[in-house]
């Protein structure tokens, strides 16, 4: 099969030497390369296809998504804007998930740039556009609730999820995540128990974060129903992604089961396999980094803990592509973790820089947000130290 694909690629490339702007050859070649895991080469042809059909929603959104996955934000923004300008109801119906993801790009980009006021305006604008284009069929407040969690407006997120029209198990998963963001692990377990107690297959709850929440909540026996299986006929890049995510979750489990040495090794290896093009693993990667840093810190190794957190935050642009339930809150938690660690290591100036950014990013957050409470506590201690 591999040989047949290589022959097909060569045939397409030979045809393009003769006809460099042959649209369908470019599109077919991009799809073939993408399915074979050759992301960078596929991206080149996907962008060429979009340029040849500037009024095509399908080819423009393909270029936008692939550019985002590659981390090329500067080029991606142009295609994101074009995608949203071209979008109509039919496009929204046929590409619901990816389209909604791009609609929320401007809001999360503003948050990444420490501008929560603009972020909230963009989020409201996206929600209104979704309603105006999609009508009642696409009235779903879950994306707004997820955004509120990243904005630090926990109470508003909870209210949004409680009023959600999502099925009961999904709603409980959203509320469990909200409790996790609050550091209320008892409430998180209560919500998770309401999902697992009916003993229905957990795969019917389409919330990727559920496995991570069950892992963190210590409900390990329930995870057997959520094994990340690999479909042998799935594209190569999908199989590889599932393998990486499964490796991270197994590492988290090993740490949670007090198998510290094995957990550190497994989790470290799994996290090191994630590159900037693996943004679909953002939730797994960020939570794995949080757990690994905690484990190193518990062993008294602040240096390795800080290294894990710095490496994770170098991939903060994952936030723009993977707007999953826990991606944004975990991104904020990692920053808070690193600032606290720097304080313990005596690197006060490094800690202050992170804390200043966090205060900007959480300017609209609930005043009793756990991270703001941590920042206030650190500030109080810093003020007392000279007197001591």
Overall domain count for the chain: 1
Closest CA to 264 of 292, 284, 238: 292
Question: Residue ranges of the alpha helices (H) in 202-235?
Answer: 209-216
Cβ within 8 Å of residue 76, ≥6 positions away: 64, 67, 68
Give dist(CA 332, CA 339) in Å, integer. Answer: 11
pLDDT tens across 288-327, in order? 999 999 999 999 999 999 999 999 999 998 888 888 889 9
Are the CB atoms for 284 and 323 separated by under 8 Å?
no
Are the CB atoms for 158 and 181 separated by under 8 Å?
no
Task: For residue 193, give the 3-state DSSP assignment.
Answer: helix
pLDDT tens across 321-331, in order? 888 889 999 99
pLDDT for position 119: 97
Question: Residue ranges of the alpha helices (H) in 314-386?
Answer: 318-321, 327-344, 348-361, 370-384
Q: Do the domain assignments include residue 187?
A: yes
pLDDT for position 374: 94
Residue 188 belongs to what domain range? 140-206
Tokens of 55: 């009024």
pTM: 0.85
For range 175-186, the mean pLDDT? 93
Q: Do the domain assignments include residue 181?
A: yes
Mean pLDDT of the chain, nearest integer:
85
Q: Do the domain assignments include residue 176?
A: yes
pLDDT tens across 260-277, in order? 788 889 899 999 988 877
Residue 201 has pLDDT above 60, yes or no: no
Give dist(CA 153, CA 94) in Å, integer. Answer: 32
Q: Do the domain assignments include residue 252?
A: no
Q: Helix 302-313 crosses helix 282-298 at what angle (to 10 degrees)?
A: 170
Q: Do the domain assignments include residue 177?
A: yes
Question: Predicted confidence band at 388 (pLDDT cuts at 50, 70, 90)?
Answer: very low
């Amino acid at each position: 099969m591999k040989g047949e694909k290589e022959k097909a690629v060569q045939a397409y490339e030979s045809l393009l030497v003769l006809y460099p702007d042959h649209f369908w050859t470019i599109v077919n070649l991009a799809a073939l390369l993408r399915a074979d895991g050759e992301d960078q080469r596929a991206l080149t042809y996907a962008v060429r296809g979009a340029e040849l059909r500037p009024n095509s929603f399908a080819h423009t959104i393909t270029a936008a998504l692939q550019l985002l996955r590659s981390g090329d934000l500067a080029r991606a923004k142009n295609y994101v804007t074009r995608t949203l300008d071209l979008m109509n109801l039919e496009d929204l119906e046929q590409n619901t998930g990816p389209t909604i993801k791009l609609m929320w790009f401007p809001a999360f980009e503003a948050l990444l740039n420490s501008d929560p006021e603009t972020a909230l305006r963009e989020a409201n604008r996206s929600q209104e556009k979704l309603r105006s284009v999609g009508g009642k069929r696409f009235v779903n407040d879950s994306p707004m609730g997820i955004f509120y969690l990243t904005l630090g407006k926990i109470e508003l997120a909870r209210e949004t999820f409680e009023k959600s029209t999502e099925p009961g198990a999904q709603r409980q998963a959203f509320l469990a995540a909200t409790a996790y963001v609050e550091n209320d692990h008892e409430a998180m377990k209560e919500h998770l128990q309401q999902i697992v107690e009916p003993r229905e297959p957990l795969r019917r709850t389409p919330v990727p974060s559920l496995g991570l929440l069950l892992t963190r909540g210590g409900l390990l026996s329930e995870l057997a129903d959520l094994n990340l299986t690999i479909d042998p006929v799935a594209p190569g890049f999908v199989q590889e992604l599932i393998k990486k995510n499964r490796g991270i979750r197994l590492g988290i489990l090993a740490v949670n089961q007090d198998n510290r040495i094995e957990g550190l090794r497994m989790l470290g290896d799994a996290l090191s396999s994630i590159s900037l093009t693996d943004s679909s693993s953002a939730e797994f990667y960020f939570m794995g980094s949080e757990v690994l840093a905690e484990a190193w810190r518990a062993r008294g190794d602040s240096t390795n803990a800080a290294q894990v957190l710095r490496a994770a935050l170098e991939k903060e642009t994952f936030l723009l592509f993977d707007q999953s339930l826990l991606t944004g809150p975990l991104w904020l938690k990692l920053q808070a973790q690193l600032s606290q660690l720097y304080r313990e290591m005596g690197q006060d100036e490094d800690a202050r820089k992170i804390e200043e950014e966090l205060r900007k990013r959480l300017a609209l957050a609930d005043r009793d947000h756990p991270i703001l409470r941590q920042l206030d506590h650190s500030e109080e201690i810093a003020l007392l130290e000279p007197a001591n």
